[in-house]
Each structure stands twice: as structure tokens, then as C-alpha cells.
Structure 1
Amino acid sequence: MTIGTLFIVSAPSGAGKTSLLKALVETEDRVKVSISHTTRPKRPGEVDGVDYHFLDTAAFEQMVEAGAFLEHAEVFGNFYGTSEAGIRDQLAAGNDVILEIDWQGAQQVRKRIPDTVSVFILPPTPEALRQRLGSRGQDSEAVISRRLAEAREEMSHFAEYDFIVVNDLFEQALGEVRSIITSRRLSQAIQAKRLQGRLRSLLA
């Protein structure tokens, strides 16, 4: 039986994490990005079960009480969570699964699935981060300053991660993330499971 790997990918806002993961999923077989549960309202164009699993607060709280989430958090008055059963089903099917979560969620997940592989995405420079955070052109200096402070708080937890990728040149960063996944797939622990029959025949 092939077993997939759970990957955590974290980054401050403005580091380009979402674009990297979108490109990765489009070009890499057997890589899935986890779909979170949330109580926030559905936005125009969003599809239930594709963008998020949308549910009301009562249903979310029932899942929390049942211990159904690998991690969950409240963000700006809305709740977000990752279903443990959904993740384990994907892994058992042989897929590698990516969680797009912050450092706090990452800590929760590591307690439940210790062999999770974690990757932190950094912007190349403070100037590039500021430019990306202010790229909408509609935010005040106070809003941008707050986002920069939040980004610095997120980045201060880089040492908790297994790998660090700097998203300066997009294609290079994408290749580095892909290499992390490939190296994990080729590790002894994974290959020993995947190649059981071949190894038995070679060692007979």
C-alpha cells in the first residue's frame, strides 16, 4: 500500500505561497491541497467542496467537540479547520497532501502527525514584501504597517520548519518546493513501503 506524506506550507502574507501551490498542483501528480472547513460566508464564485467546506458555527463546534480537526483556529471572527479524516483518507490513497496553514496550526498538526514535513516560504527582501502587501493600491499606510508586523511575527517562527524556500524568482522557488516533495518520495521510509515486492525479490 502506498502512503502519502503530509506537507505543511506556511508563509507570511505577500510571500506568494498561494501562487506557488497553485502552480505545483497543476504540474505535480499525486499532490493535493487540503480543503479547509470554514464558517465564513461564501464569496462570489466560490464553490462548496472546492474552495472550502462551508458550514455554520454550530456544525463547526460539533466537529471540534468530536475531535474531528487536525487543527482549527478563529481568524477575524470566522472559524477554520482541517478535517483529520479527510487528510488521512487522502494519504492512504497514496496522495501527498499540502496544508496551507500558519505557524500555530502547524504546531497543532505536528502533535497529531509527527512525521509531517514542513516548508516555510520567505519573501526575498523587506522591500519586496512591502511592495507586495501594498500592491492593491487601496490600503492605507497604517493597514500596510499592520500587515508587515503580522508578517514579521509569522516569519519569526521559521526555525520550527524543516525547509525554507525564498520566493524571489518564481520558477526557481517552484522547482525547490517540487524538489522537497521528490526527495521525500525517494526517502528510505517511503521507498521501503512502495517497493516491498521488488525488495523481497531482490533479496531472496
Structure 2
Amino acid sequence: MASLTGTLTFLINPSLDQHTAQKEEQLVHIRAHFNYDPEEDIYIPCKELGISFVRGDILHIINQDDPNWWQAYREGEEDQALAGLIPSRTFQEQREIIRHTLMAEGKDGAKGKKSKCNSCGRKHNKKNQKRKLYSSTGEDLDAEEILTYEEVALYYPQPNRKRPIVLIGPPNVGRQELRERLMETYPDRFGAAIPHTSRPRDDNEMDGKDYHFVPRHVFEADIIEHKFVEYGEFEKHLFGTSLEAIRQVVSSGRICVLNLHPESLRVLKASDMKPYILFVAPPNIDKLRQLRLSQGVIKVSDEELTEIIEKGRELEETYGHFFDHIITNFDLDRTYDELRGVIDQLEVEPQWVPAHWVT
């Protein structure tokens, strides 16, 4: 071939035969949003045929004929001789509804035994009243959802349309430091969405660079039109991150790095941004103390450290179905290297994303 001249044309012919191609078309790909162990399931017809999985696993469904039990493979195990059984979406939803109902009845019974005057002594945290965070959709984001499966499809990276990176985690876990390091080290590769505010512009500030300064009535009109991923009020002024500000970074060819409140994930995932959501989890209490020292915090109590850890567990339990990847921040340098590796991989390898993103 080295001695040939002129134009060479290569014809790539798929090796799949017709039967294999039809089988592939019949597959349904889903991401699990709950943990499942057939050994603990008293309803499964045959425990030996059940397959276990954890939240976030990709499952390939080959048969849905049975209304209660689907036949499936876990990602990477498609070459097994037999598929395994998993509960169908409808069956799992029914079980979850019953479980939630029993839990609610148990809570109501417990409340009835308590003194009614307990609620009168509730303390309000004045610090939390200074800044209010709102959902840009106005929905009740605390309502419980029945999470079973989500249909997914492979998304191939697009060089001219980088997926935004969203860092989620409890306060003081190192998200801000990681974000700043990415943008300071690679300013041409990463960018920040310029926030909006209704406060007056200071003399040393530039509109469109430090903030997008808009009158309050304009800001409020944009809220009504759901133009913000999230917004809040601080000292009687509105602040927010708009979808358009994120879109501007993406249009520039850079990766938009965001630190958002987890309640904002619903709005962002429903947009056309195709975000990649990474959870920065706190380590154990000893490693967390070392991390806080590296951040310049000299005195930190065990209560403060425990609160960070508990908040991290709460976020993972409530919003874990949104997370694409989890990094435990034992050390900022090591976590930064891992984060950068995840982003590098994200730009060259296909990822499983919600199916409606690629249709």
C-alpha cells in the first residue's frame, strides 16, 4: 500500500449478520435508579436466575413479554449464555407505592403520639433566611418520586458542542477549589457562565463580564419564562444562572463548569445542554479534617465535619439518580487529577445518556 499513488477508498462493511442486527434493534437499554438483590426478593420466580444491580448500572433488556419480570443483561456481560431476571418497571413501581404508603402511615401514627406543642418551639435559622433559593420551574421539588428505570442511549461526543460539567456536593467539600483550578489552568478550555443580577453595577464592574446587570422587573419576567437554571435573593437583590449564559459558553467551544444547587438539576437535564453531573463526596472524618486544613481552615469541630458528611449522604440519597460519576475528595490534588481524567474521557468516548437526548 505504501507504493500506491492516487486516492484510496476504504469500504467498511459491518460484520453483523441480519439475525444479529435484528436482535440489536430489539434491545432496550436502561439505567437502574435503585439497588436490587434477587436473594432478598421473596417474589422472584427463581432466585438463581435473578441478576443483582446497583443504582447507576446499565441494563440491556432483551425480553419484556412477562408483565412482572424482564430478561436482561448487565453492561459488559452480554456474552453470557443466559439472560437474568429483573423486576419490570410496573412491578417495581407497584412495590414502591406500597412501601411509600406504609411509611407514610407509620409517620402519621408516630406524629399522633407526639405533643402538638412541639411544632411551636421550632427554631428558625436566621442565617438561612438571608439567601433564598428557588426552583426556576416553581415545582414542588421535595415531592417523592418513584424511581425505577430510565431508558438510555449511547451519545457520541461532538467536538464543537462540549457537555457542561456540573459539580454537586455538600458545602466545604472542595467543589469551588476544583472549579477554579480547572479554569485557571486551562482558560481556553473551560469557562464559567456569567450570572445575572438585579443589583446596581459598581464602578469597577463591567456588564457582561462580571455580571449581566438587569432591572428587577426584567429579571422577574425571565423567571416567569423559566429562563434560569436557578436563582436566589440576597440582601433584596436577585442573582441567577441562566440557560442562555451556559449556552454562550458552550457556543464558544469551551466546557462550562458549574457549581449548582442539586434542585437545579431537573431544570438543566430537561434543557438541550446535555450536562454531565459529577458528585464530589466527602471522605471520612479524619481525611475531611485534613482537607479542611489544606483549605486554610485551622479550627474545625467534629460537629461541623459530621454535618458535611451527613449532608453528603443526604444529597446522594435524594439526588443520586442524577449523578453520572462520583468522586470522593480525599485530597484536592488527587481529586483534581481524577476529575480531569473523567473530563478527558468524556470528550473521546461515548456515554449512556437519557434516550430522548439523542432522538
Matched, 1:154 2:154: no
Matched, 1:95 2:254: yes
Counterpart of 1:35 in 2: which secondary structure? coil
Amino acid across the alignment from 2:248: D
How is 1:69-148 mapped onto 2 (pairs within 5 angstroms)?
A: 69=228, 71-74=229-232, 79-113=238-272, 115-129=274-288, 132=292, 135=297, 144=304, 148=308
> 4+ residue runs of structure 1 moved beyond 6 angstroms?
40-43, 139-142
Asked whether the equivalents of residues 33 and 100 of structure 1 are also in contact (C-alpha less than 8 Å), the reply is no
CA distance in 2: counterparts of 1:37 and 1:115, whole angstroms: 22
How is 1:16-31 mapped onto 2 (pairs within 5 angstroms)?
A: 16-28=174-186, 29-31=188-190
Asked whether the equivalents of residues 73 and 105 of structure 1 are also in contact (C-alpha less than 8 Å), the reply is no
1:120 deviates by 0.8
CA distance in 1: counterparts of 2:328 and 2:301, whole angstroms: 27
1:109 deviates by 0.6
**Which of 58, 62, 66 is matched with 2:217 structurally?**
58
Counterpart of 1:135 in 2: which secondary structure? coil
Over 3 Å counting, the alpha-carbon distance change for 1:130 and 1:170 in structure 2 is: closer
Alignment partner, residue 170 of structure 1: 332
1:9 deviates by 1.0
CA distance in 2: counterparts of 1:39 and 1:150, whole angstroms: 31
Over 3 Å counting, the alpha-carbon distance change for 1:145 and 1:186 in structure 2 is: closer
Counterpart of 1:104 in 2: which secondary structure? helix
Amino acid across the alignment from 1:88: R
Answer 1 or 2: which has greater helix percent: 1
CA distance in 2: counterparts of 1:20 and 1:26, whole angstroms: 10
**If the length of structure 2 is used for normalisation, what is the TM-score?**
0.43
1:94 deviates by 1.4
CA distance in 2: counterparts of 1:146 and 1:125, whole angstroms: 9
Matched, 1:15 2:173: yes
Alignment partner, residue 348 of structure 2: 186
**If the length of structure 1 is used for normalisation, what is the TM-score?**
0.71
Q: Using the aligned pairs only, state the percent identity.
A: 26
Corresponding pairs, count: 186
Over 3 Å counting, the alpha-carbon distance change for 1:165 and 1:158 in structure 2 is: farther
1:96 deviates by 1.1
Over 3 Å counting, the alpha-carbon distance change for 1:104 and 1:176 in structure 2 is: same
Asked whether the equivalents of residues 72 and 79 of structure 1 are also in contact (C-alpha less than 8 Å), the reply is no
Larger RCO (alpha carbons 8 Å, 6+ apart) = 1
Moved more, 53-62 or 4-13: 53-62
Counterpart of 1:8 in 2: which secondary structure? strand
Unpaired segments of 5 or more residues in structure 1?
A: 190-204
1:8 deviates by 1.0
CA distance in 2: counterparts of 1:40 and 1:161, whole angstroms: 34
Alignment partner, residue 192 of structure 1: none
CA distance in 2: counterparts of 1:127 and 1:152, whole angstroms: 17
Unpaired segments of 5 or more residues in structure 2?
A: 1-158, 352-359
Residue by residue over 1:23-76, the C-alpha shift from the partner in whole angstroms, topping out at 9 and shown as x without a partner, is 111222421122222457889x9776455445453332122123322x123366
**Which of 29, 36, 40 is matched with 2:195 structurally?**
36
Higher-Rg structure is 2
